[in-house]
Chain A
Amino acid sequence: MHLAYPAVLAALLFSVGLYGVLARRNAILVLMSVELMLNAVNLNLVAFDVWLRDTLHAGQALTLFTIAIAAAEIGIGLAIVLMVYRNRGTSDVDRLRDTSETDDETPTADGTPSADEKAEATA
């Protein structure tokens, strides 16, 4: 099998994932898109491993590692999204903008954190 097929497939998968990460609003869908990108990379690793005829099969071994770490990562990510949803009633990425720079130049006089920051601190 020619290398072009898996490579093109991987590129398409990566592009779909990238679009998802940049364009989807739901945090869970963003995480799923990240998985798509990871799997595109995995596909590349396996394809090139075969194509280069690597006797140690480093590409396949690395893919196993990636899959394991991706599983852990998605677990933690989903847990975070769950907590955010419970706290705020939404998991919209667009609305999680607490770190944005406001035009308010002066911090609050007594240095107490604002209501939003408090909510985040207790979360």
Chain B
Amino acid sequence: MTTTTLAVLVPLLPFLGSAAGLLLGRTAPGFVRPLAVLPTLAAAVLAVLVAARQGGGKAVDAATQLTPTGSVPIDLALHIDGFAAVVAVLVGVVATCVQIYSTGYLRHDPRYPSYAALVSLFTAAMLLVVYSGDLMVLLVGWEVMGICSYFLVGHYWETPEARSASLKAFLVTKLGDVPFLIGLFALAADAGTFRITGVLGAVTSGALDHPTLVALLLLAGVAGKSAQFPLHTWLPDAMAGPTPVSALIHAATMVAAGIYFVARLLPVFAASAAALTVLAVMAAVTMVGSALAALAQDDIKRVLAYSTIGQLGYMAGALAVADRGAAVFHLLSHGAFKALLFLAAGAVIHAAGTNSLTAMSRMSGLTQRIPDAYWTMTVGLLALAAIPPFAGFFSKEAVLVAAEHTATGDHTAAPAGAGWIVLVAGLLTALLTAAYAMRLWLLAFRGRGAEAPDHGRQPIQMTTVLWVLAVPSLGFGLTAAYLDDWFDGNALTPTLTTAVLGTGLAVVGAAVTYAVRSTLLARTAPPPAAPAGATPVPAAGPAAAPTVAHPDAEAGQVEAEALDLPHPAADPADPGRALLGPLHRPAADGFHLDAVYRAAFVRPVLAAASLVRFLDREVVDTYVRGAGDSAKGLGWLVRRAQTGNVQTYLSALLAGSVVLAVVAVVLANAAAGA
């Protein structure tokens, strides 16, 4: 088979799998699991094959036109360069891991068939985005992902959190998609084509008339999809979905799409210094703000969600300094370790029976219950904190090196100011990232208090996947030297200055957090041997943490129940609170951005809705009701004449005839006289 055929099969297989899964889900439950796993696995294998054949060399292009559109043509086109090839491999591998994990995680879920089909559809849409060589076809995959995320985040739609989170994810990303669509049209109007190769050619020849406008419009859609400030608010709430969905959204699909899109069209953005500066500021605000927010979250999955936003900020920062190699490199390593972190967090939530870090910090022995999740999560957190030699270190260094080169003027593709913004924010975020990674690890695995309950071993599918993903989290960075050829050719290897600075800051952040935690623990240690009958101090004592009602149920159900749990009073030994000080409360609320959105968008929309309701009910309906009422009133008047007395009727008839006769005579006389 040719490379093109293989590449077409990559998005097609999961799509067919999802269609078959949706059709056969009820009639043939036995086929659901193979239909979920096998097409995705095959797509992953084919993506590897395509990558091997493409080999980072010349881009593979193929196109077929289904029907003429009359104006700008829309082609079913493939454009596979090094970026597309490796990102497709990441998507395929992570999606396969998620599908395998889900077979264990949602074993007895009644909605598993539709869930698995939607995950396959999600994967297919992302692969379409990755391989598509036509912006309109790319947009199709982009929007299919939007609707899939809506369905999957709302998987536990019995809970109000999941319902509102899925709506929020859909609406916020759509808020960015509207300018995105306009931007695509503006781009196509300038370039005269939707083909990516054509657009890039137009940029090189300077045919793009409004690069800044187009780039800013496109950035709005990217900010929505890739959860960048100020459109990131949907991502932390999207935690209401099942853990494998979070892993998929955060690691391989959806949020990666925005970064990947910018990487693909980077020359368009690089044509406008203003757009790059805006992107740099956006990335910097996103990184620092999300890292601060992550430090204050109590829900383990929300911590990971904010960390995703921060890491996406790194990628956006790399794009802002016009180095897409570094951005996609970080996308790949982040995809591996973030999928690992989320899947491990699912196991942790299952074992602990709660998603609250405070509650976990009041349990001990969680590490013995789930050794696989413990070790793999440690690897993932080390990679997240960018400690060498884990994957995150190399990719984050690539970003910082690119920023440094731009800042010092070695690279002139982007303004130096953008380089400085990204560099400073990146270093600050490295410190904060290590701090919250350390806090997460300490609170989840170094808790003190009652022994964690034993629910038996985790299913084999879940633990295997964790170890499979731990391998790239550990060793992917070592391929940095080899990956250069696949990307633009910029060196991805770390340099001494940024490596020492970044790692030093990360170590400092982690060490400070550890120290604060130890100090706080020593200060608030429970008084030894409290006298009998004395009321225990609830905050300091190892009070029983609230856990779910059915801790022995399968993982998915435990998580759904954990969504409804009240979060316990804050742990006084929580290092995040001490480190953030007065910033803690706003950070825990995501810096009140939701309130701003409520005032800026939700309230006006609700007011407009009530206005429309008023116009409909009171104005339009008045006419309709008036038409009915006037007919009724006329009928009432006419009915008054119906007395039932025949003689009255006859009298009226006679009177009428006389009047008519008189009129006829008078008229005849008048006519004769004239």
Contacts and interface: CB of A to CB of B under 8 A. Distances in A.
Contacts of A23: 647
A23 B644 CA distance: 15
B647 A21 contact: yes
B640 A101 contact: yes
Contact of B654 (A18, A93, A98, A101): A18
Interface bracket on B: 10 to 19
Contact of B644 (A18, A22, A98): A98
A114 interface: no
B645 A93 contact: yes
Interface string B628-645: 000000000001101111
A21 B643 contact: no
A94 B644 CA distance: 9
B646 interface: yes
Interface string A52-94: 0000000000000000000000000000000000000000011
Contacts of A96: 644, 646
B651 interface: yes
A100 B642 contact: yes
A100 B645 contact: yes
Interface in A86-123: 93-94, 96-101
Contacts of A101: 639-640, 642-644
A100 B643 contact: yes
Contacts of A21: 647, 650
A100 B644 contact: yes
B651 A97 contact: no
Contact of A93 (B639, B646, B651): B646
Contacts of A100: 642-645
A36 B646 CA distance: 19
B643 A22 contact: no
A99 B644 contact: yes
A79 B435 CA distance: 110
Contacts of A22: 647, 650-651, 654
A21 B647 CA distance: 7
Contacts of B644: 96-101
Contacts of A97: 643-645
A80 B43 CA distance: 93
Contacts, number: 30
Interface bracket on A: 10 to 19
Contacts of B640: 101
Nearest to A27: B646
Nearest to A100: B644
A48 B650 CA distance: 28
A99 B639 CA distance: 11
Contacts of A99: 642, 644
A25 B220 CA distance: 89
Nearest to B643: A100
A94 B654 contact: no
Contacts of A93: 645-647
A68 to B, nearest CB: 25
A77 to B, nearest CB: 13
A25 to B, nearest CB: 9
Contact of A94 (B642, B645, B650, B651): B645
A96 B647 CA distance: 11
A84 to B, nearest CB: 12
B656 to A, nearest CB: 14
B289 to A, nearest CB: 66
A81 to B, nearest CB: 13
B641 to A, nearest CB: 8
A101 B640 CA distance: 7
Question: Which among B643, B647, B654 has the highest number of chain A CB atoms within 10 Å?
Answer: B647
Contacts of B651: 22
B522 to A, nearest CB: 81
Contacts of B650: 21-22
A22 B651 CA distance: 7
Contacts of B654: 18, 22
Nearest to A98: B644
Interface string A16-32: 00100111000000000
Contacts of B647: 21-23, 93-94
A32 to B, nearest CB: 15
Contacts of A18: 654
Interface in A1-39: 18, 21-23
A81 B50 CA distance: 103
A101 B644 CA distance: 7
A101 B638 CA distance: 10
A99 B646 CA distance: 10
Contacts of B643: 97, 100-101
A100 B641 CA distance: 9
A99 B654 CA distance: 21
A35 B643 CA distance: 26
Contacts of B645: 93-94, 97, 100
A93 B639 CA distance: 20
A23 B648 CA distance: 10
B658 to A, nearest CB: 11
A21 B643 CA distance: 17
A14 B478 CA distance: 123
B134 to A, nearest CB: 66
Question: Which among B643, B646, B651, B654 has the highest number of chain A CB atoms within 10 Å?
Answer: B646
A93 B642 CA distance: 15
A23 B647 CA distance: 7
B310 to A, nearest CB: 69
A90 B640 CA distance: 26
12 contacts: A21-B650, A22-B647, A22-B651, A93-B645, A93-B646, A94-B647, A96-B646, A98-B644, A99-B642, A100-B642, A101-B642, A101-B643
The 5 closest A-B pairs by CB, nearest first: A100-B644, A97-B644, A101-B642, A101-B639, A99-B644
Given A18-B654, A93-B645, 20 more contacts: A21-B650, A22-B647, A22-B650, A22-B651, A22-B654, A23-B647, A93-B647, A94-B645, A94-B647, A96-B646, A97-B644, A98-B644, A99-B642, A100-B642, A100-B643, A100-B645, A101-B639, A101-B640, A101-B642, A101-B644
Interface of A: 18, 21-23, 93-94, 96-101
